[in-house]
Amino acid sequence: MDDDVTGDRDAYMAGILARYRKTLVEKTKFHLGYPYNLDFDYGALSQLQHFSINNLGDPFIESNYGVHSRQFEVGVLDWFARLWELEKEEYWGYITNCGTEGNLHGILVGREVLPDGILYASRDSHYSVFKAARMYRMEAVKVDTLLSGEIDCADFERKLTERKDKPAILNVNIGTTVKGAVDDLDLVLKTLEKVGYTEDRFYIHVDGALFGLMMPFVRRAPKVTFKKPIGSVSVSGHKFVGCPMPCGVQITRMKHINVLSRNVEYLASRDATIMGSRNGHAPIFLWYTLNRKGYRGFQKEVQRCLRNAYYLKERLREANVGVLLNELSSTVVFERPLDEAFILKWQLACQGKIAHAVVMPSVTVEKLDDFVEELIEVRNRAFPDGDVVVPCIVEEVGPENCACSVHRDISSPKSPKEERKHFSSSNS
Protein backbone atom coordinates (compact mmCIF):
# COMPACT_ATOMS: atom_id res chain seq x y z
CA MET A 1 0.00 0.00 0.00
CA ASP A 2 2.71 2.46 1.07
CA ASP A 3 4.78 1.32 -1.89
CA ASP A 4 1.85 2.05 -4.18
CA VAL A 5 1.55 5.55 -2.77
CA THR A 6 5.27 6.13 -3.18
CA GLY A 7 5.13 4.77 -6.73
CA ASP A 8 2.22 7.04 -7.62
CA ARG A 9 3.96 10.03 -6.13
CA ASP A 10 7.19 9.28 -7.97
CA ALA A 11 5.33 8.92 -11.26
CA TYR A 12 3.46 12.17 -10.63
CA MET A 13 6.67 14.05 -9.86
CA ALA A 14 8.48 12.55 -12.84
CA GLY A 15 5.63 13.79 -15.04
CA ILE A 16 5.91 17.32 -13.68
CA LEU A 17 9.68 17.33 -14.18
CA ALA A 18 9.44 16.01 -17.74
CA ARG A 19 6.95 18.73 -18.69
CA TYR A 20 9.08 21.34 -16.96
CA ARG A 21 12.19 20.20 -18.81
CA LYS A 22 10.34 20.63 -22.09
CA THR A 23 9.48 24.25 -21.35
CA LEU A 24 13.09 24.89 -20.33
CA VAL A 25 14.33 23.57 -23.67
CA GLU A 26 11.84 25.79 -25.48
CA LYS A 27 12.57 28.90 -23.42
CA THR A 28 16.31 28.40 -23.72
CA LYS A 29 16.00 28.13 -27.52
CA PHE A 30 14.30 31.49 -27.96
CA HIS A 31 16.25 33.58 -25.57
CA LEU A 32 17.86 36.87 -26.55
CA GLY A 33 17.16 39.52 -23.93
CA TYR A 34 19.45 38.68 -21.03
CA PRO A 35 23.23 38.49 -21.04
CA TYR A 36 23.38 34.82 -20.16
CA ASN A 37 25.47 32.32 -22.05
CA LEU A 38 23.04 29.39 -22.16
CA ASP A 39 25.42 27.14 -24.03
CA PHE A 40 27.30 24.92 -21.58
CA ASP A 41 27.75 21.26 -20.82
CA TYR A 42 28.65 20.41 -17.26
CA GLY A 43 27.91 16.70 -17.61
CA ALA A 44 31.31 15.87 -16.14
CA LEU A 45 30.29 17.65 -12.93
CA SER A 46 26.92 16.01 -12.37
CA GLN A 47 28.67 13.46 -10.11
CA LEU A 48 29.17 16.28 -7.60
CA GLN A 49 25.48 17.04 -7.19
CA HIS A 50 25.29 14.42 -4.45
CA PHE A 51 27.37 16.53 -2.10
CA SER A 52 26.44 19.48 0.05
CA ILE A 53 29.39 21.68 -0.91
CA ASN A 54 29.59 24.83 1.17
CA ASN A 55 32.45 27.34 1.26
CA LEU A 56 31.62 28.90 4.62
CA GLY A 57 33.03 32.39 5.09
CA ASP A 58 36.40 33.47 3.77
CA PRO A 59 37.80 31.46 0.82
CA PHE A 60 41.38 31.87 2.04
CA ILE A 61 40.83 30.65 5.59
CA GLU A 62 40.10 26.98 6.16
CA SER A 63 36.92 26.40 8.17
CA ASN A 64 36.14 23.19 10.02
CA TYR A 65 33.54 22.10 7.49
CA GLY A 66 35.31 19.65 5.21
CA VAL A 67 32.90 19.40 2.27
CA HIS A 68 34.03 22.53 0.47
CA SER A 69 35.62 23.59 -2.82
CA ARG A 70 37.96 26.32 -1.59
CA GLN A 71 40.82 25.04 -3.76
CA PHE A 72 38.72 25.57 -6.90
CA GLU A 73 37.46 28.91 -5.67
CA VAL A 74 40.96 30.24 -5.02
CA GLY A 75 42.06 28.95 -8.42
CA VAL A 76 39.30 30.94 -10.10
CA LEU A 77 40.07 34.04 -8.04
CA ASP A 78 43.76 33.81 -8.94
CA TRP A 79 42.79 33.71 -12.61
CA PHE A 80 40.72 36.88 -12.30
CA ALA A 81 43.27 38.71 -10.16
CA ARG A 82 45.81 38.00 -12.89
CA LEU A 83 43.37 39.17 -15.57
CA TRP A 84 42.83 42.45 -13.73
CA GLU A 85 46.50 42.79 -12.77
CA LEU A 86 46.55 42.56 -9.00
CA GLU A 87 49.35 40.64 -7.27
CA LYS A 88 48.49 37.43 -5.47
CA GLU A 89 49.46 38.71 -2.03
CA GLU A 90 47.67 42.01 -2.54
CA TYR A 91 44.22 40.80 -3.51
CA TRP A 92 41.27 39.35 -1.69
CA GLY A 93 38.05 38.11 -3.21
CA TYR A 94 35.34 35.51 -3.27
CA ILE A 95 32.77 33.90 -5.52
CA THR A 96 29.44 35.60 -4.95
CA ASN A 97 25.88 34.52 -5.63
CA CYS A 98 25.35 37.13 -8.34
CA GLY A 99 26.33 40.54 -9.65
CA THR A 100 24.20 42.25 -7.02
CA GLU A 101 26.20 40.65 -4.21
CA GLY A 102 29.39 41.95 -5.86
CA ASN A 103 28.01 45.48 -5.95
CA LEU A 104 26.74 45.22 -2.38
CA HIS A 105 30.18 44.06 -1.28
CA GLY A 106 32.19 46.61 -3.24
CA ILE A 107 30.10 49.53 -2.03
CA LEU A 108 30.19 48.25 1.56
CA VAL A 109 33.99 48.05 1.43
CA GLY A 110 33.99 51.61 0.08
CA ARG A 111 31.78 52.82 2.90
CA GLU A 112 33.88 51.11 5.57
CA VAL A 113 37.05 52.67 4.12
CA LEU A 114 35.41 56.11 3.81
CA PRO A 115 32.57 56.15 6.36
CA ASP A 116 31.22 59.59 5.46
CA GLY A 117 31.69 59.13 1.72
CA ILE A 118 28.95 60.01 -0.74
CA LEU A 119 28.05 57.43 -3.38
CA TYR A 120 28.12 58.66 -7.00
CA ALA A 121 26.77 56.51 -9.82
CA SER A 122 25.32 57.23 -13.22
CA ARG A 123 21.58 56.88 -13.62
CA ASP A 124 22.17 53.96 -16.00
CA SER A 125 23.88 51.97 -13.23
CA HIS A 126 22.32 48.69 -12.16
CA TYR A 127 19.50 49.21 -9.66
CA SER A 128 21.44 47.26 -7.02
CA VAL A 129 23.83 50.22 -6.70
CA PHE A 130 21.11 52.52 -5.44
CA LYS A 131 19.62 49.68 -3.42
CA ALA A 132 23.00 49.42 -1.66
CA ALA A 133 22.94 53.13 -0.81
CA ARG A 134 19.53 52.73 0.76
CA MET A 135 20.51 49.59 2.67
CA TYR A 136 23.71 51.16 3.95
CA ARG A 137 22.19 54.56 4.73
CA MET A 138 24.56 56.41 2.46
CA GLU A 139 23.91 59.65 0.65
CA ALA A 140 23.68 58.81 -3.05
CA VAL A 141 24.01 61.15 -6.01
CA LYS A 142 22.72 60.14 -9.44
CA VAL A 143 24.90 61.42 -12.26
CA ASP A 144 23.55 62.05 -15.76
CA THR A 145 24.53 59.91 -18.72
CA LEU A 146 25.44 60.60 -22.31
CA LEU A 147 23.26 59.21 -25.08
CA SER A 148 25.51 56.15 -25.24
CA GLY A 149 24.70 55.37 -21.62
CA GLU A 150 28.16 56.36 -20.37
CA ILE A 151 28.52 58.55 -17.31
CA ASP A 152 28.50 62.28 -18.14
CA CYS A 153 31.70 63.52 -16.55
CA ALA A 154 30.72 67.18 -16.92
CA ASP A 155 27.72 66.53 -14.71
CA PHE A 156 29.87 64.43 -12.40
CA GLU A 157 32.31 67.31 -12.01
CA ARG A 158 29.50 69.74 -11.15
CA LYS A 159 27.98 67.44 -8.56
CA LEU A 160 31.33 66.47 -7.08
CA THR A 161 32.41 70.11 -6.76
CA GLU A 162 29.24 70.97 -4.84
CA ARG A 163 30.08 68.25 -2.28
CA LYS A 164 33.84 68.33 -2.32
CA ASP A 165 34.16 68.48 1.48
CA LYS A 166 33.03 64.82 1.63
CA PRO A 167 34.94 61.75 0.32
CA ALA A 168 33.60 60.14 -2.85
CA ILE A 169 32.61 56.49 -3.40
CA LEU A 170 32.08 55.78 -7.08
CA ASN A 171 30.40 53.05 -9.02
CA VAL A 172 31.91 52.82 -12.50
CA ASN A 173 30.12 50.67 -15.07
CA ILE A 174 31.93 48.40 -17.46
CA GLY A 175 28.85 47.68 -19.50
CA THR A 176 25.59 49.21 -18.31
CA THR A 177 22.55 46.98 -17.99
CA VAL A 178 20.41 48.51 -20.73
CA LYS A 179 22.78 49.97 -23.32
CA GLY A 180 25.97 48.07 -22.58
CA ALA A 181 27.84 51.35 -22.20
CA VAL A 182 31.35 51.49 -20.76
CA ASP A 183 32.05 54.41 -18.42
CA ASP A 184 35.31 56.18 -19.20
CA LEU A 185 37.36 55.31 -16.13
CA ASP A 186 40.28 57.50 -17.15
CA LEU A 187 38.02 60.52 -17.53
CA VAL A 188 36.42 59.76 -14.16
CA LEU A 189 39.90 59.70 -12.58
CA LYS A 190 40.84 62.96 -14.30
CA THR A 191 37.66 64.57 -13.02
CA LEU A 192 38.42 63.50 -9.47
CA GLU A 193 41.91 64.94 -9.76
CA LYS A 194 40.62 68.16 -11.27
CA VAL A 195 38.20 68.74 -8.40
CA GLY A 196 41.08 68.13 -5.98
CA TYR A 197 40.52 64.57 -4.79
CA THR A 198 43.63 62.67 -3.75
CA GLU A 199 43.61 58.85 -3.76
CA ASP A 200 42.89 58.63 -0.03
CA ARG A 201 39.64 60.56 -0.50
CA PHE A 202 37.91 58.36 -3.08
CA TYR A 203 37.03 54.71 -3.59
CA ILE A 204 36.05 53.27 -6.95
CA HIS A 205 34.00 50.11 -7.34
CA VAL A 206 33.92 48.79 -10.89
CA ASP A 207 30.71 47.00 -11.81
CA GLY A 208 31.95 44.79 -14.60
CA ALA A 209 28.75 42.73 -14.72
CA LEU A 210 29.15 41.39 -18.25
CA PHE A 211 31.91 43.29 -20.04
CA GLY A 212 34.39 43.10 -17.19
CA LEU A 213 35.15 39.63 -18.49
CA MET A 214 34.83 40.41 -22.21
CA MET A 215 36.89 43.58 -22.44
CA PRO A 216 40.24 42.08 -21.51
CA PHE A 217 39.93 39.98 -24.66
CA VAL A 218 39.28 42.90 -27.01
CA ARG A 219 42.33 44.52 -28.51
CA ARG A 220 42.53 48.25 -27.92
CA ALA A 221 39.71 48.24 -25.37
CA PRO A 222 40.49 50.35 -22.30
CA LYS A 223 41.85 48.06 -19.62
CA VAL A 224 40.18 47.06 -16.37
CA THR A 225 43.24 47.03 -14.15
CA PHE A 226 44.19 47.47 -10.54
CA LYS A 227 47.21 49.43 -11.74
CA LYS A 228 44.72 52.29 -11.75
CA PRO A 229 43.50 53.48 -8.34
CA ILE A 230 40.34 51.37 -8.17
CA GLY A 231 39.20 49.54 -5.05
CA SER A 232 37.18 46.59 -6.31
CA VAL A 233 35.86 44.88 -9.43
CA SER A 234 32.90 42.57 -9.70
CA VAL A 235 31.79 40.46 -12.63
CA SER A 236 29.00 37.94 -13.09
CA GLY A 237 29.92 34.30 -13.59
CA HIS A 238 26.68 33.12 -15.16
CA LYS A 239 26.77 35.71 -17.91
CA PHE A 240 29.66 35.31 -20.30
CA VAL A 241 31.07 32.11 -18.79
CA GLY A 242 27.69 30.44 -18.39
CA CYS A 243 26.60 28.57 -15.26
CA PRO A 244 23.45 26.71 -14.22
CA MET A 245 22.90 29.16 -11.38
CA PRO A 246 23.81 32.83 -10.93
CA CYS A 247 27.22 33.57 -9.47
CA GLY A 248 29.88 36.23 -9.63
CA VAL A 249 33.47 37.05 -8.91
CA GLN A 250 34.51 39.81 -6.53
CA ILE A 251 38.11 41.03 -6.32
CA THR A 252 39.30 43.79 -4.02
CA ARG A 253 42.51 44.92 -2.37
CA MET A 254 43.63 43.03 0.71
CA LYS A 255 44.32 46.28 2.59
CA HIS A 256 40.65 47.27 2.27
CA ILE A 257 39.32 43.96 3.48
CA ASN A 258 41.07 44.20 6.82
CA VAL A 259 38.83 47.16 7.58
CA LEU A 260 35.76 45.02 7.06
CA SER A 261 36.61 41.78 8.72
CA ARG A 262 36.39 40.50 12.23
CA ASN A 263 36.94 37.08 13.70
CA VAL A 264 34.14 34.66 14.17
CA GLU A 265 35.29 31.71 16.16
CA TYR A 266 32.29 29.57 15.40
CA LEU A 267 33.31 29.24 11.77
CA ALA A 268 37.01 29.49 12.49
CA SER A 269 36.74 32.00 9.66
CA ARG A 270 37.11 35.73 9.16
CA ASP A 271 33.79 37.28 8.27
CA ALA A 272 34.45 39.44 5.22
CA THR A 273 31.93 37.96 2.78
CA ILE A 274 28.34 39.12 2.73
CA MET A 275 26.87 35.64 2.84
CA GLY A 276 27.90 33.11 5.47
CA SER A 277 27.19 29.79 3.79
CA ARG A 278 28.30 29.95 0.18
CA ASN A 279 27.53 27.77 -2.82
CA GLY A 280 30.52 25.48 -3.35
CA HIS A 281 29.35 24.25 -6.75
CA ALA A 282 29.59 27.59 -8.52
CA PRO A 283 33.41 27.81 -8.20
CA ILE A 284 33.74 24.34 -9.73
CA PHE A 285 31.57 25.32 -12.71
CA LEU A 286 33.70 28.41 -13.27
CA TRP A 287 36.96 26.50 -12.80
CA TYR A 288 35.79 23.92 -15.31
CA THR A 289 34.97 26.44 -18.04
CA LEU A 290 38.04 28.61 -17.51
CA ASN A 291 40.22 25.53 -17.84
CA ARG A 292 38.39 24.02 -20.78
CA LYS A 293 38.23 27.17 -22.85
CA GLY A 294 41.37 28.90 -21.72
CA TYR A 295 42.35 32.44 -22.55
CA ARG A 296 42.32 31.76 -26.29
CA GLY A 297 38.93 30.13 -26.21
CA PHE A 298 37.44 33.17 -24.47
CA GLN A 299 39.09 35.50 -26.91
CA LYS A 300 37.53 33.68 -29.86
CA GLU A 301 34.10 33.71 -28.25
CA VAL A 302 34.28 37.40 -27.43
CA GLN A 303 35.23 38.23 -31.00
CA ARG A 304 32.41 36.11 -32.36
CA CYS A 305 29.89 37.82 -30.07
CA LEU A 306 30.99 41.30 -31.13
CA ARG A 307 30.88 40.24 -34.78
CA ASN A 308 27.41 38.79 -34.43
CA ALA A 309 26.16 41.83 -32.53
CA TYR A 310 27.38 43.99 -35.39
CA TYR A 311 25.60 41.68 -37.82
CA LEU A 312 22.36 42.04 -35.88
CA LYS A 313 22.68 45.82 -35.86
CA GLU A 314 23.18 45.86 -39.61
CA ARG A 315 20.22 43.61 -40.27
CA LEU A 316 17.97 45.76 -38.07
CA ARG A 317 19.17 48.93 -39.75
CA GLU A 318 18.45 47.42 -43.19
CA ALA A 319 14.96 46.63 -41.96
CA ASN A 320 14.55 50.29 -40.97
CA VAL A 321 14.52 49.63 -37.25
CA GLY A 322 16.10 52.25 -34.97
CA VAL A 323 19.18 50.64 -33.43
CA LEU A 324 22.19 51.50 -31.24
CA LEU A 325 25.28 49.38 -30.69
CA ASN A 326 27.97 50.82 -28.47
CA GLU A 327 31.57 50.17 -29.27
CA LEU A 328 32.99 47.21 -27.33
CA SER A 329 29.48 46.02 -26.68
CA SER A 330 27.38 43.05 -27.74
CA THR A 331 24.17 44.64 -26.43
CA VAL A 332 22.01 45.75 -29.34
CA VAL A 333 19.44 48.39 -28.39
CA PHE A 334 16.41 48.92 -30.65
CA GLU A 335 12.80 50.08 -30.75
CA ARG A 336 10.60 48.21 -28.34
CA PRO A 337 8.50 45.86 -30.48
CA LEU A 338 4.77 46.51 -30.38
CA ASP A 339 3.82 42.87 -29.89
CA GLU A 340 3.94 41.68 -26.27
CA ALA A 341 3.82 38.01 -27.26
CA PHE A 342 6.92 38.56 -29.39
CA ILE A 343 8.71 40.27 -26.47
CA LEU A 344 7.84 37.36 -24.20
CA LYS A 345 8.84 34.70 -26.72
CA TRP A 346 12.30 36.20 -27.21
CA GLN A 347 12.45 37.28 -23.56
CA LEU A 348 13.51 40.81 -24.42
CA ALA A 349 14.39 43.16 -21.60
CA CYS A 350 12.59 46.46 -22.20
CA GLN A 351 12.84 49.94 -20.75
CA GLY A 352 10.49 52.66 -21.90
CA LYS A 353 10.57 52.88 -25.69
CA ILE A 354 13.56 50.59 -26.18
CA ALA A 355 14.37 46.90 -25.92
CA HIS A 356 17.66 45.09 -26.17
CA ALA A 357 19.11 41.81 -27.32
CA VAL A 358 22.41 40.63 -25.90
CA VAL A 359 24.53 38.57 -28.27
CA MET A 360 26.15 35.86 -26.18
CA PRO A 361 28.13 32.78 -27.23
CA SER A 362 24.88 30.81 -27.34
CA VAL A 363 23.43 33.18 -29.97
CA THR A 364 24.13 32.10 -33.54
CA VAL A 365 23.68 33.97 -36.81
CA GLU A 366 20.81 31.62 -37.64
CA LYS A 367 19.02 32.59 -34.44
CA LEU A 368 19.54 36.26 -35.23
CA ASP A 369 18.15 35.76 -38.75
CA ASP A 370 15.05 34.07 -37.35
CA PHE A 371 14.65 36.87 -34.85
CA VAL A 372 14.90 39.69 -37.40
CA GLU A 373 12.56 37.99 -39.85
CA GLU A 374 9.97 37.46 -37.17
CA LEU A 375 10.35 41.02 -35.92
CA ILE A 376 9.67 42.38 -39.43
CA GLU A 377 6.70 40.05 -39.82
CA VAL A 378 5.23 41.15 -36.51
CA ARG A 379 5.73 44.81 -37.38
CA ASN A 380 4.15 44.45 -40.80
CA ARG A 381 1.19 42.71 -39.22
CA ALA A 382 0.66 45.70 -36.92
CA PHE A 383 0.28 47.97 -39.98
CA PRO A 384 -1.92 46.00 -42.36
CA ASP A 385 -2.18 48.86 -44.82
CA GLY A 386 1.55 48.53 -45.43
CA ASP A 387 2.36 51.96 -44.09
CA VAL A 388 4.70 51.07 -41.22
CA VAL A 389 5.09 53.88 -38.67
CA VAL A 390 8.56 53.71 -37.13
CA PRO A 391 8.55 55.11 -33.59
CA CYS A 392 10.91 57.95 -32.73
CA ILE A 393 13.54 56.88 -30.18
CA VAL A 394 15.86 59.82 -30.75
CA GLU A 395 16.04 60.61 -27.04
CA GLU A 396 17.24 57.10 -26.26
CA VAL A 397 19.62 56.43 -29.15
CA GLY A 398 20.37 59.78 -30.79
CA PRO A 399 19.48 61.15 -34.25
CA GLU A 400 22.02 59.05 -36.13
CA ASN A 401 20.49 55.83 -34.81
CA CYS A 402 16.79 56.66 -34.89
CA ALA A 403 14.85 55.34 -37.88
CA CYS A 404 11.66 57.40 -37.56
CA SER A 405 10.46 59.47 -40.52
CA VAL A 406 12.08 62.62 -39.11
CA HIS A 407 15.53 61.18 -38.39
CA ARG A 408 15.74 58.47 -41.03
CA ASP A 409 17.66 60.65 -43.45
CA ILE A 410 20.39 61.30 -40.92
CA SER A 411 20.88 57.69 -39.96
CA SER A 412 20.64 55.63 -43.12
CA PRO A 413 23.23 56.82 -45.62
CA LYS A 414 26.40 55.50 -44.08
CA SER A 415 29.10 53.93 -46.18
CA PRO A 416 30.21 50.43 -45.16
CA LYS A 417 33.69 51.80 -44.67
CA GLU A 418 32.54 54.38 -42.18
CA GLU A 419 30.64 51.71 -40.30
CA ARG A 420 33.60 49.43 -40.04
CA LYS A 421 35.56 52.15 -38.30
CA HIS A 422 33.26 51.49 -35.37
CA PHE A 423 35.22 48.34 -34.61
CA SER A 424 38.72 49.07 -35.65
CA SER A 425 39.14 52.39 -33.90
CA SER A 426 40.32 52.50 -30.34
CA ASN A 427 38.14 54.01 -27.62
CA SER A 428 36.98 57.46 -28.65
Active-site residue list? 329
177 vs 411 by CB, closer to a copy of itself: 177
Residue pair 75/109 in contact by the 8 Å Cβ criterion: no
52 vs 405 by CB, closer to a copy of itself: 52
Please report whether residue 3 would count as binding a copy of itself according to CB under 8 A: no
Q: Site map for a copy of itself, 5-34, x if CB under 8 A?
A: ----xx--xx--x--xx-xx--xx-xx-xx
Residue pair 253/229 in contact by the 8 Å Cβ criterion: no
Please report whether residue 212 would count as binding a copy of itself according to CB under 8 A: no
Please report whether residue 244 would count as binding a copy of itself according to CB under 8 A: yes
Q: Smallest distance from the beta carbon of 15 to a copy of itself, in angstroms?
A: 12
DSSP state of 44: G
The beta strands (E) that lie in 181-296 are given as: 202-207, 232-236, 248-253, 263-264, 269-270
Q: Which of 145, 177, 308, 401 binds a copy of itself (CB under 8 A)?
A: 177
Site for a copy of itself in 273-302 (CB under 8 A): 274-282, 288, 291-292
Site for a copy of itself in 341-370 (CB under 8 A): 343-344, 347-352
Buried b (16+ CB within 10 A) or exposed e, 279-294: bbbbbbbbbbbbeeee
97 vs 411 by CB, closer to a copy of itself: 97
Region binding a copy of itself by CB under 8 A among candidate stretches 39-47, 155-163, 366-374, 379-387: 39-47
Residue pair 77/224 in contact by the 8 Å Cβ criterion: no
Q: Which of 4, 11, 89, 137 binds a copy of itself (CB under 8 A)?
A: 137
The beta strands (E) that lie in 168-301 are given as: 168-173, 202-207, 232-236, 248-253, 263-264, 269-270
Q: Could you tell me which of 80, 103, 99 has the C-alpha nearest to residue 91?
A: 80
225 vs 351 by CB, closer to a copy of itself: 351
Please report whether residue 79 would count as binding a copy of itself according to CB under 8 A: no
Please report whether residue 389 would count as binding a copy of itself according to CB under 8 A: no
Please report whether residue 242 would count as binding a copy of itself according to CB under 8 A: yes
Please report whether residue 208 would count as binding a copy of itself according to CB under 8 A: no
Q: Smallest distance from the beta carbon of 234 to a copy of itself, in angstroms?
A: 12
Q: Smallest distance from the beta carbon of 165 to a copy of itself, in angstroms?
A: 20
In this structure, how many other beta carbons lie within 10 angstroms of the beta carbon of residue 111? Answer: 22
Region binding a copy of itself by CB under 8 A among candidate stretches 212-220, 267-275, 366-374, 395-403: 267-275
Q: Is 268 exposed, middle or buried (0-12, 13-18, 19+ CB in 10 A)?
A: middle
Q: Smallest distance from the beta carbon of 275 to a copy of itself, in angstroms?
A: 5
Residue 388 CA to residue 403 CA, distance in Å, equals 12
In this structure, how many other beta carbons lie within 10 angstroms of the beta carbon of residue 1? Answer: 5
Q: Counting every residue, how long is the chain?
A: 428
* Alpha helix (H) residue ranges in 60-150: 70-83, 99-113, 127-136
Buried b (16+ CB within 10 A) or exposed e, 165-196: eebbbbbbbbbbbbbbbbbbbeebbebbeebe
Please report whether residue 338 would count as binding a copy of itself according to CB under 8 A: no
Q: Which of 125, 236, 308, 330 binds a copy of itself (CB under 8 A)?
A: 236
Q: Which of 7, 15, 22, 52 binds a copy of itself (CB under 8 A)?
A: 52
| Helix, strand, coil share (%) of the chain residues, nearest 5 | 45, 15, 40
Region binding a copy of itself by CB under 8 A among candidate stretches 200-208, 241-249, 305-313, 419-427: 241-249
Please report whether residue 205 would count as binding a copy of itself according to CB under 8 A: no
Region binding a copy of itself by CB under 8 A among candidate stretches 181-189, 213-221, 242-250, 325-333: 242-250
Residue pair 102/108 in contact by the 8 Å Cβ criterion: no
Residue 183 CA to residue 425 CA, distance in Å, equals 17
Q: Which of 60, 79, 136, 197 binds a copy of itself (CB under 8 A)?
A: 136
